């Protein structure tokens, strides 16, 4: 059997990391002797022609994609295109959006054959086996599909044993492109979340009981990812610090091996201690992200966050003493938001900033499956749109009785202006020569990222990077100059200096290379690591 996995388009400004969920799915399929290919349209431009070529050449029996709410439209377009290319291919989709919106999705989109409910590793393998043996789909737990009687939901599957999963099949993922864009690489040391925040689907998606991986295998994976020269590893557990013993065991494993790692994690302010944070710092953790959500105590109770502002302050103090950078995120537009609670949240964010906290604001996106959406009649909240691409949490799509979307957007736009002002200061420092390369690096790296992404998504290197180099003798600089001139003539908005600066950076860092066959030059991104 052959299985084509697809990562649908996801905006680069959302800081995507290599698709971990699809890499797990690919790994279990390969373990079951299924041939797997993965297309990643986050870092490659999408076209139906590219998809058609893959389907013709690979001839998959299944095509599967994933999506969050914001990327659902991109994912379903891929499914539609698959069916128009080959109606006989089985199509499926997983992820939280379709898991909690299964019936409506199947009713609206006949091109989608199966929805994978919740964790998908064991389900997709069983689905493939059912196709091989022509078994009744009803025997496969964890799917929703249509038959002559209507929509069938086979019920939730037992949660997987995380220690029984293979290492994610990252050899199928174009890791090199993410690395070139300066994106982090993610992994997990556990699955599950025991908390009940009304704006989150984590608990419903992966269960309330946390399942922990063996610390040795966790660190094995961290060491491997470190060897790939990503600037940062994100431990993407819903809550890495939920269990003190597990957290310390992972940290001690790193320390005892005497390896230098650079990583971040998510935590709750009521699950960290100074001992844990100090050990995390010693093991290479430089930043811990806390979901604070609001600066109003009653709001925190309403959303079932289960923390207090005093706990937030104490957690920040412990981070500062341990030498770990604390990051706090806030959600605006929560049920019952008022001008007063909005002001309290902004002021609390400024108070944390004075304590050395990096912080940011998001706007409530009531995703399918969240309590705030499922039970919206209970809350002072109005959903303004069901246009899924707008569920990116950067602009308001909800209002309360006393706070409209303009008021909510004003806070976020103001915060964005401050960040642009920060970049503007760095630009002035760089232009004046007063700033050191280290000081202005955040701006320089951002500029490299934007330009590299544009080159990737326009296929500029593929289309302009193959040429005959004139002359009998020439240098590497000559080959680079030729590439810059060719891209410049293709209509790019970037100056020759900007192109040369970024392309030379990409070569120096090992993101871009060329081969020379008797003067026939071919440039290419280093996609697979």
Q: What is the pLDDT of residues 390-446, one digit of tens each?
A: 999 999 999 999 999 999 999 999 999 999 999 999 999 999 999 999 999 999 999
Give the model's pLDDT for residue 325.
Answer: 97
- The answer on pLDDT for 310 being more than 90 is yes
193 pLDDT band (50/70/90 cuts)? very high
The b/e string for 7-36 (b: 16+ C-beta within 10 A; e otherwise) is bbbbebeeebbbbbbbbbbbbbbbeeebeb
Give the model's pLDDT for residue 378.
Answer: 92
Give the model's pLDDT for residue 479.
Answer: 97
472 pLDDT band (50/70/90 cuts)? confident
Region 490-517: mean pLDDT is 96
Give the model's pLDDT for residue 453.
Answer: 98
Region 284-298: mean pLDDT is 97
Measured between alpha carbons, how far is residue 50 from residues 55, 78, 525 in Å?
9, 11, 18
Region 273-278: mean pLDDT is 97
**Are the C-beta atoms of 19 and 170 separated by less than 8 Å?**
no
**Four-way CATH pick for 458-525: 1.20.1050, 3.30.310, 3.40.50, 1.10.10:** 1.10.10
Which 8-state DSSP code applies to residue 529? -
Q: Could you report the per-residue pLDDT of 113-152, keeping only the tens digit for each? A: 999 999 999 999 999 999 999 989 999 999 999 999 999 9
For residue 76, the number of C-alpha atoms closer than 13 Å in the C-beta half-sphere is 19
What CATH code would you report for 184-363? 3.20.20.70
> Rounded distance, CA 46 to CA 459, Å?
11
Q: In what order do the strands lie in the sheet with 520-525?
A: 466-468, 520-525, 512-517
- The answer on pLDDT for 465 being more than 90 is yes
Instruction: Give me the percent of the chain exceeding a pLDDT of 70.
Output: 100
- The answer on pLDDT for 516 being more than 90 is yes
Region 262-283: mean pLDDT is 97
354 pLDDT band (50/70/90 cuts)? very high
Domain borders along the chain are 2-153, 184-363, 458-525
- The answer on pLDDT for 256 being more than 90 is yes
CATH 2.40.37.10 fits 2-153, yes or no: no
* Mutual angle of helices 215-227 and 244-257, in 10-degree steps: 50
- The answer on pLDDT for 211 being more than 90 is yes
471 pLDDT band (50/70/90 cuts)? confident
When the pLDDT of each residue in the chain is averaged and rounded to a whole number, the result is: 96
Give the model's pLDDT for residue 121.
Answer: 97
């Amino acid at each position: 059997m052959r299985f084509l996995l697809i990562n649908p388009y996801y905006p680069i400004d959302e800081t995507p990391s290599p698709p971990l969920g699809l890499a797990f799915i690919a790994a279990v399929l390969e373990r079951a002797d299924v041939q797997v290919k993965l297309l990643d349209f986050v870092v490659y431009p999408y076209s139906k022609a590219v998809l058609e070529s893959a389907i013709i050449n690979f001839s998959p029996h299944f095509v599967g994609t994933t999506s969050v709410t914001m990327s659902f439209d991109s994912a379903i377009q891929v499914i539609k295109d698959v069916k128009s290319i080959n109606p006989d291919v089985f199509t499926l989709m997983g992820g939280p959006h379709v898991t909690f919106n299964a019936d409506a999705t199947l009713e609206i989109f006949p091109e989608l054959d199966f929805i994978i409910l919740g964790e998908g590793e064991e389900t997709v393998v069983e689905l493939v086996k059912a196709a091989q043996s022509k078994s009744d789909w009803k025997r496969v737990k964890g799917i929703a599909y249509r038959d002559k009687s209507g929509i069938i939901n086979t019920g939730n599957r037992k949660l997987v044993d995380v220690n029984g999963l293979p290492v994610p099949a990252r050899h199928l993922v174009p890791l090199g492109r993410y690395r070139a864009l300066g994106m982090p690489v993610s992994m997990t040391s556990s699955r599950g979340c025991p908390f009940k925040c009304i704006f989150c689907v984590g608990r419903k998606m992966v269960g309330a009981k946390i399942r922990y991986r063996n610390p040795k295998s966790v660190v094995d994976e961290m060491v491997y990812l470190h060897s790939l020269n990503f600037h940062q590893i994100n431990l993407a557990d819903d809550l890495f610090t939920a269990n003190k013993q597990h957290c310390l065991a992972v940290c001690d494993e790193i320390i005892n091996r005497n390896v230098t790692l650079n990583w971040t994690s998510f935590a709750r302010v009521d699950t960290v201690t100074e001992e844990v944070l100090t050990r995390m710092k010693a093991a290479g953790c430089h930043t811990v992200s806390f979901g604070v959500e609001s600066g109003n105590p009653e709001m925190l109770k309403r959303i079932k966050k289960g923390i207090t502002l005093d706990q937030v302050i104490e957690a920040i103090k412990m981070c500062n003493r341990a030498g770990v950078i604390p990051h706090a995120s806030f959600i605006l537009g929560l049920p019952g938001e008022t001008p007063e609670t909005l002001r309290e949240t902004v002021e609390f964010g400024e108070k944390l900033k004075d304590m050395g906290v990096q912080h940011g604001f998001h706007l409530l996106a009531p995703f399918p499956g969240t309590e705030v959406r499922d039970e919206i009649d209970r809350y002072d909240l109005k959903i303004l749109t069901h246009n899924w691409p707008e569920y990116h949490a950067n602009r308001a799509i909800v209002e309360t009785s006393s706070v409209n979307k303009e008021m909510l957007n004003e806070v976020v736009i103001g915060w964005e202006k401050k960040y642009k002002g920060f970049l503007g200061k760095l630009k002035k420092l760089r232009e004046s020569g007063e700033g050191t390369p280290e000081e202005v690096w955040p701006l320089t790296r951002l500029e490299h990222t934007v330009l590299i992404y544009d080159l990737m998504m326009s296929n500029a290197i593929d289309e302009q990077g193959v040429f005959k180099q004139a002359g009998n003798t020439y240098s590497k600089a000559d080959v680079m100059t030729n590439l810059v001139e060719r891209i410049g003539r293709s209509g790019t908005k970037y100056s020759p200096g900007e192109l040369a600066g970024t392309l030379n950076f990409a070569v120096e860092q090992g993101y871009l290379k060329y081969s020379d066959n008797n003067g026939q030059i071919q440039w290419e991104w280093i996609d697979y690591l």
